[in-house]
Amino acid sequence: MTKFIIIMLSAVFINNYVLSRFLGICPFLGVSKKLNQAVGMSVAVIFVMLIATAVTWPIQIYLLDPNSLGYLQTIVFILVIAALVQLVEIILKRYIPSLHKSLGVYLPLITTNCAVLGVTILNIDEGYTFAEAMVNSLGSGVGFLLAMVMFSGVRSKIEGADVPKAFQGLPITLVAASITSLSFLGFSGVIENLFA
Amino acid sequence: MNKRQNFLKGLIKENPVLVLVLGTCPTLAVTTSVSSAIGMGAAATAVLLCSNIVISALRNIIPDKVRIPCYIVLIAGFVTMVQMLVKAFAPALDESLGIYLPLIVVNCIILGRAEMFANKNKVIDSAIDALGMGAGFTLALFMMSSIREILGNGSWMGFEIPILSDNSISIMTMAPGGFLVFGILIAVVNKISHGKNSKKNFGCAGCPSADICAKSNGEQEEAK
């Protein structure tokens, strides 16, 4: 149980996907302007990460590895994720239209989101069991949500600030992201010592 | 547009990283040292060149509706090839790039060039475009990694710099330094080009999912 907590907490805080692993920067910069969009996107990411892990982990362990097809990992995973996102969208549209209405627009964006492909590959690289992989995916998704929500708050402050002309737009956003990620550096070492 | 301009636009005027703002994830992640940045640039250029040539050659065959999945499969194939070559001939580079090597698949530069250039232009033009964009990507990574390695580690390409190596600012090689250097570099480029290239918003135009992204922003606003 302790191991699950460690995996979860380190995925959320220490190895935060956006702020320390630099995965999923595009949505982090592009969709974080408003809080409700940031939350919608993040919830969709958590959802897809969990489903993608639940499907790709068994494929790698029971299909690719026994047949020594490990080198096909990249192609298979991206195809599975792309197909899965389409499938999820169709199912949501048919059976849970209210959820589709709030998440639907974000789903197609996630196909080419490196955070989702990243989490599925990292789960295999780290040698996690199925349960650990699922916990790691959930933690990574929650970490993404946390970063997005925090950053949308920071950005709403920037919108009203008077910044030098050259820094307007993206540059000042990146500088703000730098300071946000600085705050996450404070967590390093905390989790290991918590359970030592 | 002649061939020389076509090549040069990728280097400066339409630099994929500093002006179009594509492929931010690898830009931030692998620029902690110059050697891994150049390795990443070379790997991405190789994939971009192959994918641009093949996609341009197949541009009249691939049906419009399923083009994005087709591109992704082609790109994933080339990335796997590059991945195996790097593993076999440059294991140290494989180690330092880690997860970011397979993630070239979802690098927006490659899909973006396929969508914006290769599916409308001839094979040779697409190849030149790929070389220019690849060189621009590598140049931007090289600049950023030089700044980060010199300030953060006191070395350049692994050579130690006398005074700086004793007074390194280690935050530069960590995550916050990446965002900071990237932000400042873009600001410098904006300043030099007098805001001609600067966009009010993010450079989503080059991203293949820009349509959907804009739609999601628009619909949210309408809902209010």
Half-sphere exposure of residue A33: CA atoms within 13 angstroms, side-chain side: 15
Spatial distance between the Cα atoms of B78 and A87, rounded to a whole number of angstroms: 26
Q: Which two tokens stand for residue B125?
A: 């033009």
B109-162 pLDDT, tens digit each: 888 888 888 888 888 888 988 999 999 999 999 999 998 888 887 778 777 777
**Residues of A with Cβ-Cβ distance to B76 under 8 angstroms:** 74-75, 78-79
Count of H-run helices and E-run strands, chain A: 10, 0
Q: Which residues of A touch B108 (CB under 8 A)?
A: 26, 112
Q: Which residues contact B133 (CB under 8 A, 6 or more apart)?
A: B10, B14, B16, B48, B109, B113
- Is the CB of B78 inside 8 Å of chain A's CB atoms? no
Cross-chain Cβ contact B202/A175 below 8 Å: no
B218 and chain A in contact, CB less than 8 A: no
Distance CA A71, CA A89 (A): 29
Question: Hey, which residues does B160 pair with through a beta bridge?
Answer: B155
Contact B182, B22 (CB under 8 A): no
Residue A137 pLDDT: 92
Distance in angstroms (rounded) separating the CA atoms of residues B36 and A66 = 33
Whether B217 sits inside 8 A of A109 (CB atoms) is no
Closest CA to B49 of B109, B92, B101: B109
Q: Do A178 and B102 touch (CB under 8 A)?
A: no
Enumerate the residues of chain A whose CB falls inside 8 A of the CB of residue B141.
Answer: none
Q: Does B81 touch chain A (CB under 8 A)?
A: no
What local confidence, expressed as pLDDT, does residue B177 receive? 87
Encode chain A (196 residues) as per-residue pLDDT tens digits. Answer: 788 888 888 888 888 888 888 888 877 887 777 788 788 888 888 888 899 999 999 998 888 888 888 888 888 888 888 888 888 888 888 887 877 777 766 777 677 778 888 889 888 888 888 989 999 999 999 999 998 898 888 888 888 888 888 888 788 888 888 888 888 888 777 776 776 5
Q: CA B59 to CA A17: how far, in whole Å? A: 36
Identify the bridge partners of residue A11 per DSSP, sorted by sequence position.
none
Facing A166 at nearest CB: one of B69, B72, B191: B191
Tally the residues of chain B: 224
Amino acid at residue number B27: T
In the predicted structure, residue B37 carries a pLDDT above the cut 80: yes
For residue A160, give the H/E element and its range: none
CB contact under 8 A, A26 and B207: yes
